[in-house]
Structure 1
Amino acid sequence: MGSDTIEHIFGAAVCVFAESGFERARMDEIARRAGVAKGTIYYHFKSKEELFVALMNNGMERLTAYLRRRLAQVEDPQEQLGEILDAQVRYLYDNGTFAKLLISEVWGSIERQRVFRARIRDLVSIIEEVIRRGEKEGSFRTLKVQETAVAIFGAISVAVLQELFRFEEQERQDVKEERIPDLVRNLETLIHHGLIYKEAE
């Protein structure tokens, strides 16, 4: 039982948790959708809580890795900030069920909060690195870096979540190539001219 089995379990679990909520989600249903025995799930995860934490941890790690890959393609801080906006919007948009769980279920137990805060911290630190580099090079205003990075992360997340709840899955995929650039442009306008970039002299 390798990584493929765990991926099947994660794929089923994210749907069941999103549809039923953590409390009402049943391991039997997750096993059925994953095409595995319930004992197989318990072989990998001791409890529903452990499965949920691992699922969210996996999703956040993938988002972090995706952001870092995108940032490695450019060096200019302004371009890197654009990469962050586009990458986070695309990842959350393409993983809408996971994105909804971030808001609806992740604040439950102490363990979930601990893991979630650590992963958000990882993501925010990436944004902080870009802001600090931009400040050093004179591209960005001098602001409170951590608070600004958190605000940027939050603005992106809420903008995408609004979109996820606005459209059903199939409709969202149909308009994806139109809506994602619109979201990114709107966020760029907000952040570039309102929060980060120096005013033209």
Structure 2
Amino acid sequence: MPEAMAEKLMATAGEFVASWDDVRIDDIAAASGVPRATLYYYFSSKEDILAFMLRRMLDRLTEAVAAADDADDDLPTRLAAVIRAQLSHLGEYPATAQLLISNLGKAGKLPDIAAAINASFHEPVRRLLAQGAADGSFRSVEPEMAATALYGAVTIIGLRCLLIDGSIDVDAVSAQIVPMFWSGLRPEAGA
């Protein structure tokens, strides 16, 4: 799909956050300015369009998280950078983030979207938690459970900020989330 057309689709995501179940391909065509026939050339259904938009957002998030994770930093700093990258990305693509969150049930049933959620949210955190437990930077926790808890905190707090405040103040939110997680991950004294 040509980049300009893909960006038109991404730009219209906000128009469909509240009503994706009622959206028709004709609605997407009208909102995006992409002809209906062209949409059908690239996608067989509106679910394919949803999957495309979510995958594109998650791929960008995976790149942002990878860029934020500087292997030269200590693990607590790296974890904080990953959290900030995730929050920043949700704020940068608020409509697509809201589409993702409001369609998690559908997204979870699409293997490539589930894999992209894993790559962008879970895997970077899980990896850092396992490394931190191995070198003593973090107390030993079950990485999958802790990564899921962090994913929930980042996405729900991010969504709350988008819905109530209209944007995400990454500095303010990070200043709250990171210390809470650090308190739970800090190695126990004498351990």
TM-score calculated relative to the size of structure 1? 0.85
Q: What stretches of structure 1 of length at least 5 have no aligned partner?
A: none
Instruction: String of CA shifts for 1:69-90, please: whole Å, max 9, x gaps.
Output: 1113643211110101111111
Moved more, 76-85 or 21-30: 21-30
- Large movers: runs of 4+ above 4 Å: none
- CA shift at 1:200, angstroms? 5.1
> What are the within-5 Å matches in structure 2 for residues 91-130 of structure 1?
91-108=89-106, 111-112=109-110, 114-122=111-119, 123-130=121-128
1: CA distance between counterparts of 2:63 and 2:142? 25
Equivalence for 1:28: 26
State the Cα RMSD in Å: 2.0
Instruction: String of CA shifts for 1:145-174, please: whole Å, max 9, x gaps.
Output: 111111111111111111111124xxx3xx
- CA shift at 1:94, angstroms? 1.9
Q: What stretches of structure 2 of length at least 5 have no aligned partner?
A: none
Structure 1 residues 152 and 106: CA distance shift in structure 2, 3 A? closer
Equivalence for 2:186: 197
1:16/1:25 contact within 8 Å kept: no
Percent identical: 23
1: CA distance between counterparts of 2:107 and 2:77? 38
Structure 1 residues 145 and 73: CA distance shift in structure 2, 3 A? closer
Aligned residues, how many? 189
> What are the within-5 Å matches in structure 2 for residues 6-155 of structure 1?
6-12=6-12, 14-19=13-18, 21-72=19-70, 74-108=72-106, 111-112=109-110, 114-122=111-119, 123-155=121-153
Structure 1 residues 149 and 110: CA distance shift in structure 2, 3 A? closer
SS at match of 2:22: coil
Pick aligned residue for 1:181 from 171, 179, 188: 171
1:27/1:38 contact within 8 Å kept: yes
2:83/2:174 contact within 8 Å kept: yes
SS at match of 1:23: helix
2:51/2:107 contact within 8 Å kept: no
2: CA distance between counterparts of 1:109 and 1:152? 19
